[in-house]
Structure 1
Amino acid sequence: MYNILIVDDEKKEREGIALLLKRFGFPLRTAFAQNGEDALKIMEKNYFDILLTDIKMPYMDGIQLIRETQKRGLNPICIIYSAYGEFEYAQNAISLGVQEYLLKPVKLDAFKALFEKIIEICQEKEIEKKNRNDIIQAKEEAAQQKLSWNLLNYLESEELEEGTLNHWETLENEFTSVVQEKICIPVIISCYSNLFSIEWEEYLKDIREYFGKETVILTNTDNQIVVLLIRERNFYRTAETKKECEILIEKSQKKYQVNIFVVLGKKTESLTELKKEYTELKDQLDYQFFVSKSMVLVHDEDYFLKKENNMFSLYFERIFNCARMQDYSGIKKEFVKVFAYIMKQTGFSSIYVKYTFTDAMKQISECTDSNVDMVPCIQKIYQARTLEEVNKIIENVLDKMQEEKKEEIKENRLVRMAKELVYEKYSESDLNVSYIAEQLQVSSAYLSTLYKMETGKNLVKFITWYRVEKSKELLLQTNMKVSDVAEKVGYLNVSYYISIFRNHEGCSPVQYRERVQKGE
């Protein structure tokens, strides 16, 4: 449907035109005005595709009305409607770009032919507008994708490389233009199970629509989504955003049957602050390994409460030293001291005590390379009602860990198999943590955490490191082009490969080849 405004100082003329439009079945919504001034007021508040106006009217005639619409940037298709004796007006109308001139009295055939032509023009304008909007949208999406990729690359980079300062300054400007006078809140969403590629794209779309237009979505491997929420500085409330995340958990479970672990960050106002906060949020993702259900964790709140106490820290330092030496008797003795100390002190909140002990058990598990499932332990500690219950839970877990460690396990079987898959499949572009986890029939989050606990390294970085090492061999042992080398080690985008290589070696692949060949 298109909108037409009929302007005439005679009511019967206005209604007559509307009746003919309805009779011929033209897809038009009609509105009326009795003079130019009224018409202008109506047009300033509503959009019209067509303006049909009489020439001679009180207050403001049709020619003046058309001039005023043009001054205001209103560009409807204009039709002059007047009698035979007003051709001098028609000449003025033509000079204003009026497309048609309808004579009184109206002849039905001419009227029908005129509006058939007008409807065609409306349709053409609609198609042109859609094409323009599609081009604008495509450009905006491309710019958004580029910004997202650059932001993720910046957030994941360990340190700024020489020669990239200008690039990051440009990114800072782009980031500032997006955030403007508002704040940016990073959120990391990690899925417990894999989604098919089609579901994954739909899930990303749902997240973008759920959080609203002012949202930047960054994705990386391991089924993780980084969401940057752009919010008004004076109206942002952490509790409200946490509630949004909890609702997202419910929606994810209902529509996709997937559990998600969400870490909600603090508000940031610059790219530097965002990078610092993102790094800290990534560290908190380790807790996903110990929590089997969907949940939202707020950085510096809930599970991340901190309290400085020198004596308290000393006891736990002794516990961790015993753990490094596999001295379970020593660990138990120090825990007895810790519990006794807490009983004598005041000011400890229950949530802080529970967090401290769950964090301690996590670190003990890492120090001793234990395979004892920490999930039940963590859950029981948070469900405990008394300190004595917590004490018994920890004693039972330590007994299990001590029994397990009678036979030393040098390297977890899954970690060894993961490495073998990297050695075998490094040349395939789709090799990532999700693929390896799928082959080993475990979740990406579990495999990533297990690998880091066993080796002290990040599995994604190991894949990248191994690909770079294999590419160095090809650079020195063959005359292959850099683009061919990149493809041989699993990188289809040569620019991305060069960026990765430079990040690891401090120079480009070509520079590396030249330096080694020259013996530098």
Structure 2
Amino acid sequence: MIIKVGDMYRILIVDDEKLERNGIKFLLKKTGTELEVFEASNGRDALELLKHQTVEILLTDIKMPYVSGLELAEKVSSQYPEMKIVMFSGYSDFSYAQTAIRYGVSDYILKPVDPLEFQKTMKKLLEEIEREKAEEVQQIKTQDYLYQFFLQNYLYGGKVDIEEMKRNLDFQQYHYMVLIQTSSSFFEMEEEIFKEKLKEEIRRDFFYLNLNAGEGLFFFKEKHSDYALLCREIYQFFKLRYNTECLLAVSEELKSFEELPAVFGALEMVLEDQFYQPEKHIFSLKENEDRETNAALGDAELLKRILEDIHHRDMGHLKNILSS
């Protein structure tokens, strides 16, 4: 994956002669593109720097101490295959160029470097990186849309190939679902902006499924987390940042992919008609199940007392129970 700092690409210049590195930096400034430039005086230092610093383009001399440019190119193309490599050399021997290409070098420029040739090479590489980045973003979006389409169809009871979905969606990594309903058409807003802002606010990643204009479903990876607290943070995010009221229902821990439709249905039932309880905004399946269990236990206890009074012919007590 290509990583940028804002709109700035990162470039590493490797040459054992400082004068040569300064010359390359001067030519880079002439490109008119904002770049973050790093330097190393040999291949060994360059490899050490790359362990801690991501760069998009490597500009390296071929003849250096410790680790040559060809050795560096071989290691870089193996460890960082997405990186573009440009090699400078005073050797016009075609065999060097052949070896460089075999090691994944994008371009081979003879010294002394011709400024116009250098500018053309850099323009071509930067355009290539931009194109690859755009293709990558489009591929991710397309894949995400497919995930959302098939998952939504599955949750609402559509016929899907479950095994194929499990392979592609990899939902074993998600352990909790949170269903959010808003009183407005909040989820019609720009999806990417909203998602990134929420991730920054709650400091965790999630998978988001847009169900409709007023409903969104969120999948979280954390197995051991305070989801009541998380839901309060999300509620405050909606209320304070977007002035939007919302209701949230959190599932219990997900046990399998096959149970997703049933859990989703239970979350929807929990939130049904809850807008008539303005004092409460956060609900959970566990809380709902506990309440239903307690109600069932209460009914059982009442029935037990009625049967005891009938058995003992205590009509007065029975009358009190039935009227209470």
Normalised by the length of structure 1, the TM-score is 0.48
Q: Among residues 108, 131, 136, which one is paired with 1:133 in the alignment?
A: 136
Q: CA deviation at 1:295?
A: 1.3
Residues paired across the two proteins, number: 293
Distance in 2 (CA, whole Å) between partners of 1:316 and 1:120 is 87
Distance in 1 (CA, whole Å) between partners of 2:33 and 2:184 is 52
Change (3 A) 1:280 1:312: farther
Change (3 A) 1:171 1:181: closer
Residue of structure 1 in register with 2:175 after alignment: 184
Asked whether the equivalents of residues 80 and 93 of structure 1 are also in contact (C-alpha less than 8 Å), the reply is no
1:314 aligns with 2:319: no
Q: CA deviation at 1:255?
A: 4.2
Distance in 1 (CA, whole Å) between partners of 2:190 and 2:57 is 42
Asked whether the equivalents of residues 6 and 52 of structure 1 are also in contact (C-alpha less than 8 Å), the reply is yes
Q: Among residues 75, 87, 91, which one is paired with 2:92 in the alignment?
A: 87
Question: Secondary structure of the equivalent of 2:156?
Answer: helix
Distance in 2 (CA, whole Å) between partners of 1:24 and 1:214 is 39
Higher strand share: 2
Residue of structure 2 in register with 1:405 after alignment: none
Question: Secondary structure of the equivalent of 1:141?
Answer: helix
Larger Rg: 1
1:114 aligns with 2:117: yes
Distance in 1 (CA, whole Å) between partners of 2:288 and 2:192 is 30
Asked whether the equivalents of residues 148 and 218 of structure 1 are also in contact (C-alpha less than 8 Å), the reply is no
Asked whether the equivalents of residues 66 and 78 of structure 1 are also in contact (C-alpha less than 8 Å), the reply is no
Change (3 A) 1:149 1:275: closer
Residue of structure 1 in register with 2:3 after alignment: none
Change (3 A) 1:77 1:248: same
Change (3 A) 1:66 1:226: closer
Residue of structure 2 in register with 1:515 after alignment: none
Q: Percent identity?
A: 24
Question: Secondary structure of the equivalent of 1:136?
Answer: helix
Asked whether the equivalents of residues 5 and 52 of structure 1 are also in contact (C-alpha less than 8 Å), the reply is yes
1:100 aligns with 2:108: yes
Higher helix share: 1
Alignment of 1:152-231 (within 5 A): 152-154=155-157, 167=160, 170-171=161-162, 173-175=164-166, 178-191=169-182, 193-195=183-185, 199-202=186-189, 208-209=195-196, 210=198, 213-220=205-212, 223=214, 225-231=215-221
Question: Secondary structure of the equivalent of 2:10?
Answer: strand
What is the one-letter code of the residue matched to 1:182?
Q
Alignment of 1:231-242 (within 5 A): 231-233=221-223, 236-237=224-225, 240-242=226-228
Distance in 1 (CA, whole Å) between partners of 2:56 and 2:232 is 45
What is the one-letter code of the residue matched to 1:200?
F
Distance in 2 (CA, whole Å) between partners of 1:214 and 1:25 is 38
Q: CA deviation at 1:313?
A: 4.0
Q: CA deviation at 1:179?
A: 4.7
Residue of structure 2 in register with 1:299 after alignment: 285
1:273 aligns with 2:280: no
Distance in 2 (CA, whole Å) between partners of 1:202 and 1:271 is 29
Q: CA deviation at 1:312?
A: 3.8
**Is there any run of 5+ residues in structure 2 with no aligned partner, and where?**
1-7, 307-318
The structure with higher relative contact order (CA 8 Å, sep 6+) is 2
Q: CA deviation at 1:264?
A: 1.9
Task: Give structure 1 regions of 4+ aligned residues with deviation exceeding 6 angstroms.
Answer: none
Distance in 2 (CA, whole Å) between partners of 1:147 and 1:15 is 54
Change (3 A) 1:149 1:283: closer
Q: CA deviation at 1:78?
A: 1.2
Asked whether the equivalents of residues 172 and 257 of structure 2 are also in contact (C-alpha less than 8 Å), the reply is no
Provide Cα deviations, 1:346-404, integer angstroms capped at 9, x if missing partner.
xxxxxxxxxxxxxxxxxxxxxxxxxxxxxxxxxxxxxxxxxxxxxxxxxxxxxxxxxxx
Q: CA deviation at 1:32?
A: 2.0
1:251 aligns with 2:237: yes
Distance in 1 (CA, whole Å) between partners of 2:212 and 2:9 is 45
